[in-house]
Each structure stands twice: as structure tokens, then as C-alpha cells.
Structure 1
Amino acid sequence: MSGAASRVPNIVNYIKNCPGFESILKNIKIISAGNGACVAEYKVEQSATNIVGALHGGFTATLVDAVSGYALHSDEDKITPSVSVDMHMTYMKAAKLGEEIVIDAKTMKAGKNLAYLKVEIKNKETGDLLVQGLHTKFILSGKK
């Protein structure tokens, strides 16, 4: 199994066993991960919708945060803890209950201290761009 392919079970196992906040992502499906990128899919469930039946913006931000983190950590050179510095979301179209979405995260640049990631969330059926997220992460070096 290649390094990139071996990352998918690791990410899936992490989500499945996460006792914290990320446990809300238990139903996302990791399609691929490696070389600084990660693609996931999710079918919008009732528990992730807002009052008008669309995918909740907070849940969407969590998808951007988490999947971009998986993308960063799929790169063998960046398997170190990181924390968010900045996130910017642009919401263009809503995903509705029952629709399937694709979350495509890419590491744009990763340096010694900061990583810059881009995420696009699209409707799986139509390909419409729903959300674009930009995420900056601080890479923890283990130093105090």
C-alpha cells in the first residue's frame, strides 16, 4: 500500500475513535488522502442542518477545518500537530438535506511554521461550488 493510500484508513480510524468534537464527523467518507490533499464526501443529515433545512454554516466550517487538517497531515513531511490561525469562509450556495457534497482540500503551501490550505465544497451531483474555505494553520514544532 502506498504512503498516500495508507493515510485513508488512519484518518477514518481517527474519526471513528475521536471522543471529542470531531466525533460529529463520523459519517463523512474519506475518498482519498495523500501528498497534502484530501477528498471526502458527506450526505447532508438532519443533525447538520439549520432552521431552514440547509447545511449549517458552523458544520460547514468544521468540515473545512477538519478536512484541510487531514490534507495537511497526509503529507509525510507535515505529520506534526497544528492549530488554526485563521479561517475564511465564502458561502455561495446551500446544500439541502439529503444532498451529497464533496469536500476537496489542498495544501497550497506549507512552511516551517505556517501552512495555507484551500477547500472547495461542491454538490456531488451538479458540481456547483457551494463553499470555498481558506485555512491557515500554525505547525507545532514540539518546542515550548
Structure 2
Amino acid sequence: MANSSSSSPIPSLIFVSPTIQIKDMSEQNLIGTIQMFNELTGSGAIPDDCDTKAFYSHITNGHVRQLHRERGRLTYLLCVKPAVANVYGFLHGGFVATVAELVSIACARTVVGEDKKLFIGELSISYLSGAPENAEVIVEASVLRSGRSLSVVEVEFKLQKTGKLVYTARFTLYNMPMAKL
């Protein structure tokens, strides 16, 4: 809906939606904002070669390499390639979550038997800073607690070059079958 104003050279717009209301925004700014959002979103179509089982696992495994493994502790090296960077040139937040999930489950597996299924009951991620494209990130996971019905795993992401902590994650993983209470 457009509402022109005689006092400004560019007509003001009033844009109303169920959740957003923008008053006195110029048409030029509104068009620029819409173009920015259109550039951030893709076409929505998933290419056939990407619509396969475990597609994200293959992408993830192509960017991480295990450095160290012991009971209750894992260390990985993550390479921030352009394919997993966001439009601002830093590691994409969704990819941080994907790597954290992969590493936390692998770490819990060093303590929990293979006969038990694991699923995420709770996840918390803190994005403290950003890991730039082409950076190498050390990902360290450790089991904080493990019992019959759940395990808690902490994951830290640090820039290899400086040791700066950029992301932290904490997972509560439930072990199946659950203990009867």
C-alpha cells in the first residue's frame, strides 16, 4: 500500500503485514530492503544431486578432520571454505550447529555404547565472534556428564591461529532406551 506525502520528494510508504509495520519508509529504501532479502534467499528449488540421504553429513565431513580421540574427548580441525561461509564471509551459523551436533554425538559415542540410540534433547550455542573464510578452527568436544539416560557434551570452537574462542555449544543427548523411573 502506498501513501504519498506532499512534503517529501520521495513518496512515503506504509507497509503493513500481520507481524511488521513500517511507517514513513521511502519507496527507495523499501525496494532496497526487499532486494537485499531476495539476494539472501535462494530460489527455493533443491538440485537433484543435493536431494540425497545424508547430503549434509557429506558436506560436513568434507570440512572437518579428526585430530585426536580418547574416551570422552575429541578434537577436530574445521576448515572454513567459501561453501560454508555466509554472505558476510564468516562461518555460517547453521554450519556451526551442524558441526557441533556431529562432534557432540561422536564424542558421546566414546562413552555411550553403540547399542543405545542418541537424540538431542537440548542444544545451546553461543556465537561469540566469527570465524572468517579460509580460517582453520579447532573444535574440541568433551563429555561433561554421562549416565544411564542422558549425556551432556560441551563443544568449543577456537581459531587455530590465535586460540580465540569464537563459538561454544552444549548438548544434552538422551540415550535410548530410556531408564524406567
Assess same fold via TM > 0.5. Answer: yes
Greater relative contact order (Cα 8 A, min sep 6): structure 1 or 2? 1
- TM superposition score category, shorter chain reference: 0.7 to 0.9
Structure 1 residue 140 corresponds to structure 2 residue 176? yes
Structure 2 equivalent of residue 43 of structure 1? 79
Residues 32 and 39, structure 1, Cα contact 8 Å, conserved in 2 = yes
2:132 maps to 1:96: yes
Query: How does 1:98-137 map onto structure 2 within 5 Å?
Result: 98-137=134-173
1:11-30 alignment, distance < 5 Å: 19-20=53-54, 21-27=56-62, 28-30=64-66
1:25-104 paired onto structure 2 within 5 Å: 25-27=60-62, 28-75=64-111, 77-79=112-114, 80-104=116-140
Given that 1:33 and 1:70 are in contact with CA atoms closer than 8 Å, whether structure 2 keeps it comes out as no
The answer as to whether partners of 1:89 and 1:133 remain within 8 angstroms in 2 is yes
Structure 2 Cα separation of the partners of residues 88 and 142 of structure 1: 22
Higher helix share: 1
Q: Which residue is equivalent to 1:7?
A: none
Residue by residue, what CA displacement relative to the aligned partner does 1:89-140 show, whole Å, maximum 9, x if unpaired?
Answer: 0011100110000100000001111111101000001000000101010111
TM-aligned CA deviation for residue 33 of structure 1? 1.8
Q: Which stretches of structure 1, 4 residues or more, deviate above 4 A after TM superposition?
A: none
What TM-score do you get using the length of structure 1 for normalisation? 0.81
Give unmatched runs, 5+ long, in structure 2: 1-52
- RMSD of the alignment, in Å? 1.8
Q: Which amino acid aligns with 1:25?
A: T
How many residue pairs get aligned? The number is 125
Q: Which amino acid aligns with 1:105?
A: A
Structure 1 equivalent of residue 10 of structure 2? none
Superposed CA deviations along residues 72-100 of structure 1, whole A, max 9, x for unmatched, are: 1022x433320111110001110011000
Which residue identity lines up with residue 46 of structure 1 in the other structure? P
Taking the aligned partners of 2:135 and 2:93, their CA distance within structure 1 comes to: 15
- In 2, Cα distance between equivalents of 1:130 and 1:71: 20
Counterpart of 1:100 in structure 2: which amino acid?
E
C-alpha displacement of 1:142: 8.4
